[in-house]
Amino acid sequence: MIDLSILSQAYFSREHVARHQLDSYNHFLLNNLQKVVDEQRVIETDIETRGKGNEPVSVELGDLKILKPLVREADGSQSELYPGEARLRNITYAAPIQLDLTLVQGGVRHEPVTATIGQLPIMVGSVACNLYGMTDEERTSHGEDPLDPGGYFIVNGTERVLMTLEDLASNKIMTEYTERYNERIYVAKVFSQFRGYRALVVVERNRKNLLEVTFPSVAGHLRFVDMMRALGMTSDADIVRAVSTDEEILTFMMQNLEESECETVECGVMYVGKKLAPNQTRDYQRKRAEFVLDNYLLPHLNYLMPRTVNEEDEECMKIVHSVRLAKAHFLGRMAEACFDLVLDRRRIDDKDHYANKRLKLAGDLMEDLFRISLNRLTRDVKYQLERASMRHRDLSIATAVRADVLTERLLHPLATGNWVGGRTGVSQLLDRVDHMSVLSHLRRVISPLSRSQPHFEARDLHPTQWGRICPSETPEGPNCGLVKNFAQMVEISKGVHSDEEIIRMLYGMGVERIGVEI
């Protein structure tokens, strides 16, 4: 018979305590850092190359590399930095970030320049840490406790841990009721997330059994059928089939089709355009409507969308129409969920069910922070190059990149806890009262809900938390039930490197394509 105490001791060891934080941060270092750079890819400038057809000047971003943590002394020398030294000297445990940048002037590509674009805070114990792979004796010789689990950062000499954030699952259709003018409104909504941008798209059935759509950048409600037309669905039969072939739902859809004012795709696009840009020219309204539909409606389906849409390029427009069609089918699924709720074929979704939750670990939080920081750096590089051009100086990548811009943007949220998106308390001072308080702090989960509101259901112990969340480790007072801790033997997956791989697998299993090819 297995001794459970020995099994628990082996499982709940130094390697396992902060394993979820370390795995997530390592995934960020090895995959997501380069992915964020590839999203940006090119820094466009307003400079035109004089005398060469006035072609624009741009900077291409290449491979990114993270070095080991270093400390630069007053005399200019550099040496390896270890966590113990960072604590004693009140400095940040960070490593230089090197990026290959290529200046393109008038079609002429210059040689790539490897520039240090800033300092990235390094998690103690991660693959980029100088302690990684050391034996207990070697760790002790560098002033480290062999039993220290790692999983935290050192910023200005203080140990900071990133809280695991609990949030609703993105890109998943959720249904609920809402009240308006003493009438029950049936709602299907989705938090569509893509490359750090998050948009709430809502399909609701109003008192007249008509469907309406709302999404960011559009004021008010849009008629569902006219939206489907704008996304490329020409016939009534296609719109109905995108929702459902059920007879009862067909009755609801007939009412929606009768209320529709558009018969063609062009009419649907203009309907959206008039809502977005009233009293503007038709051409401007059309372009504005297409831009908003492509960028702000269900952005998580934009993974195949070209970076720039060229209306004269046949292949490019084929992909754009395929993505719009996919968005129309997704709206159809949302409408079906709405009607199923009306017909009592499904219940409203339980927001507290753990299948509807996702956890943002240290790697995900650092990815959000790095994306915003890199955007700030690229804007600064663009400004520096344009200023040099105005003063008729030779353009140089080395002088245009200011490393402190990125470094400051990365360190400030870690030092204060004020994260991107207006969240506070994300980075906290590590609780070093005793060893158990350290382990507890590294495995803490916090909810984004307001502490001042009751939120009775969110604070309750949900059956789906069994084996995932500790039922008793939660504070008293206003934080009760909103600040939780992981169960002892919980395992957390860190996500996948490539979405395209999963899509190919689904197509291989017989999932039908909606015109979108990979």
Residue 12: its pLDDT value, please?
61
510 in the Ramachandran plot: left (φ > 0), alpha (ψ -120 to 50) or beta?
A: left
Contacts of 123 (CB under 8 A, 6+ apart): 21, 22, 25, 129, 150, 151, 152, 153, 362
Confidence of residue 499 (pLDDT cuts 50, 70, 90): confident
Task: Kindly state the percentage of the chain with pLDDT values over 90.
Answer: 50
Confidence of residue 335 (pLDDT cuts 50, 70, 90): very high
Contacts of 195 (CB under 8 A, 6+ apart): 39, 299, 371
Burial string for 399-412 (b: 16+ CB within 10 Å, else e) reads: ebbbeebbbebbbe
Query: How many helices and strands, by DSSP H and E, does the chain display?
Result: 18, 19
Mean pLDDT of all residues belonging to the chain: 88
**pTM higher than the cut 0.85:** yes
Tokens representing residue 32 in the block: 């997501």
Is residue 444 over pLDDT 50? yes
Cα angle value 364/170/294 (rounded, 5°): 105
Q: At what angle do helices 314-342 and 236-243 cross, to 10 degrees?
A: 60
Is residue 49 over pLDDT 70? no
Q: What share of the chain is helix, strand, coil (3-state, %, to 5)?
A: 40, 20, 40
Helix (H, G, I), strand (E, B) or coil at 212: strand
Number of neighbouring beta carbons within 10 Å of residue 41: 11
Residue 319: its pLDDT value, please?
84
CA distance between the termini of the chain = 52
- The beta strands (E) that lie in 67-152 are given as 70-72, 78-80, 94-105, 108-109, 113-121
Number of neighbouring beta carbons within 10 Å of residue 369: 24
Taking the C-alpha atoms of residue 296 and residue 193, their distance in angstroms, rounded to an integer, is 10
Contacts of 385 (CB under 8 A, 6+ apart): 45, 47, 57, 59, 395, 400
Tokens representing residue 329 in the block: 């089918």
- 3-class SS string, 390-435: HCCCCCCHHHHCCHHHHHHHHHHHHHHCCCCCCCCCCEEECCCCCH
Are residues 163 and 444 in contact, defined by beta-carbon separation less than 8 angstroms? yes
Write down how long the chain is. Answer: 518
Least confident of 290-294, 304-308, 352-356, 485-489: 304-308
Is residue 7 over pLDDT 70? no
Sequence spans of domains, the chain: 4-163+361-413, 174-352
Taking the C-alpha atoms of residue 43 and residue 25, their distance in angstroms, rounded to an integer, is 27
Confidence of residue 22 (pLDDT cuts 50, 70, 90): very high
Q: Which fold has domain 174-352?
A: 3.90.1110
Tokens 């209320």, residue?
259
Beta bridge partners of 162: 427
Helix (H, G, I), strand (E, B) or coil at 343: coil
Helix (H, G, I), strand (E, B) or coil at 347: coil
User: 210-218 long-range CB contacts below 8 Å, 24 or more apart?
Assistant: 210/255, 210/256, 210/259, 211/256, 211/335, 211/338, 213/331, 215/296, 215/297, 215/298, 216/296, 217/276, 217/292, 217/296, 218/272, 218/275, 218/276, 218/292, 218/296
Is residue 188 over pLDDT 80? yes
Are residues 417 and 377 in contact, defined by beta-carbon separation less than 8 angstroms? no
- 3-class SS string, 236-253: HHHHHHHHCCCHHHHHHH
Q: For the residues 387-416, what does the mean pLDDT come to?
A: 89
Confidence of residue 493 (pLDDT cuts 50, 70, 90): confident
Tokens 């113990």, residue?
84
Tens of pLDDT along 447-473? 988 888 888 999 999 999 998 999 999
Taking the C-alpha atoms of residue 101 and residue 111, their distance in angstroms, rounded to an integer, is 9
Q: What single-letter amino acid sits at 211?
A: L
Tokens 């308080």, residue?
437
Q: Is the dihedral of CA 401, 407, 412, 413 positive or negative?
A: positive
Q: Is the dihedral of CA 339, 343, 345, 348 positive or negative?
A: positive
Tens of pLDDT along 75-130? 888 899 999 999 999 999 999 999 999 988 877 888 899 999 999 999 999 999 99
Confidence of residue 518 (pLDDT cuts 50, 70, 90): very low
Q: For the residues 159-177, what does the mean pLDDT come to?
A: 93
Contacts of 397 (CB under 8 A, 6+ apart): 59, 101, 103, 113, 115
Tokens representing residue 438 in the block: 């350290």
Burial string for 257-288 (b: 16+ CB within 10 Å, else e) reads: eeebebeebeebbbbbbebbbeeeeeeebbbb
Tens of pLDDT along 251-308? 888 888 888 888 888 999 999 999 888 888 999 999 999 999 988 999 988 877 777 7
The gap from C-alpha 357 to its chain's centroid, in whole angstroms, comes to 15
